[in-house]
Amino acid sequence: MKNKKYITENEIKKNNMAEIVTRCAIIGGGPAGYTAAIYASRANLAPVLIEGMQPGGQLTTTTDVENFPGFPEGINGTEMVMLMRKQAERFGADMRTGQVTDIDVSERPFTLTLDNGDVVKAQTVIVATGASARYLGLPDEQKFMGLGVSACATCDGFFYRKRTVAVVGGGDTACEEAVYLASLAKQVYLIVRKPFLRATKVMQQRVMDTPNIKVLFNCNTLSLYGGEVLEGAQIVEFQGTDNERVFDLPLDGFFLAIGHNPNTDLLKGKVELDAAGFVKVQWPTTQTNVPGVFAAGDVADPHYQQAVNAAASGCRAAMDADRFLLEH
């Protein structure tokens, strides 16, 4: 990499920056990162976990989690990840709030530079930076987040039993979520901006065969409305044509199913990514193409993106890191 600026030991001393040395650095503070920290701590790897700007990850944007084993009455998403964090701290994980601004994986120990200027030198790195749901960019999306707006039907669908919801998207994920929600909700609208579905024929047929799903083709969402909670969406049909029509669609829930963006900007050109930007791992391990660098959770999972799966992969990543250190 041309013109790369390496931070020297003298620079660290001169600028009063801290150099943290560890056998295992974990980037990301969601279920994958915290679980990796629990297992790495118990393996005496003395992990340092850099939590990022949103400790807890996507679970902090949801309300109650009812599909994670061990919580029969459900649990608030933020509370659950904070319990994971506390458990990792109990075993000695070193938690650092902040963001990794640069990573050098060209040689071991790997070098992580934090936004406060501190430097972490690590024999292994576990990347657990997660993925962020794509949103439409509407002004009220964030206002109603957790109050009617969701990007995970599997997580939040149960709260909309016998109610009216909409799913935005026309691919397999949107169709799957619409069919799933139809088993719970009274009415499901599938808002599709094109005059056709992009989903596979099998998924299209499932949608068409489900009586309480109505597909709104050639439609875009202009805005959301409501008081303390979501009450509906303003929809435009045939936008920009002579047949353009704007109407209000009363809703209790509004689900985004237009994909996720993996948080991998930091890794571009440093570890191998797939076409969508997710980290490629050497299944069944969590090993990336760089020996000693592992990936866990949604950042390496374009398919499932569930908290329980992320936690499981965090366990695997810590065990892979421990095994790597024993062999190197």
Give residue limits of the domains in the chain. Answer: 9-132+260-327, 149-256
72-124: pLDDT as tens digits: 998 988 899 999 999 999 999 999 988 999 999 999 999 999 999 999 999 99
Interatomic CA distance for residues 231 and 148, integer angstroms: 8
pLDDT of residue 12: 52
CB 301, CB 25: distance < 8 Å: no
CB 305, CB 296: distance < 8 Å: no
In the residue annotation, 152 being an active-site residue is answered as yes
Are the folds of 9-132+260-327 and 149-256 the same?
Answer: yes
Cα dihedral 69, 70, 75, 81 in deg (nearest 10): -80
Based on the number of CB atoms within 10 Å of its own CB, is 279 exposed (0-12), middle (13-18) or buried (19 or more)? buried
Q: 208 or 17: which carries more pLDDT confidence? A: 208
Interatomic CA distance for residues 28 and 99, integer angstroms: 9
Catalytic residue among 94, 102, 140, 155: 155
The pairing of strands 187-191 and 164-168 is parallel
What value does the mean pLDDT take over residues 224-247?
A: 96
Q: 324 or 56: which carries more pLDDT confidence? A: 324
Instruction: Decide yes or no: CATH 3.40.120.10 for domain 149-256.
Output: no
In the residue annotation, 156 being an active-site residue is answered as yes
What do you get for the CA distance between the two ends of the chain, in Å? 26
Q: 266 or 15: which carries more pLDDT confidence? A: 266
In the residue annotation, 219 being an active-site residue is answered as no
Interatomic CA distance for residues 220 and 193, integer angstroms: 5
9-132+260-327 CATH, one of 3.90.79.10, 3.50.50.60, 1.10.3720.10, 3.30.70.380: 3.50.50.60
Angle at 22 between CA 316 and CA 93, to 5 degrees: 65
Per the DSSP assignment, residues forming a β-bridge with 48 are: 25, 94
The structure's pTM equals: 0.76
Based on the number of CB atoms within 10 Å of its own CB, is 286 exposed (0-12), middle (13-18) or buried (19 or more)? buried
Query: 58 falls in which pLDDT band (50, 70, 90)?
Result: confident
* Predicted confidence (pLDDT) at residue 4 exceeds the cutoff of 70: no
Catalytic residue among 152, 219, 252, 322: 152
Catalytic residue among 24, 102, 140, 156: 156
Minimal CA–CA distance to 36: which of 156, 122, 107?
122
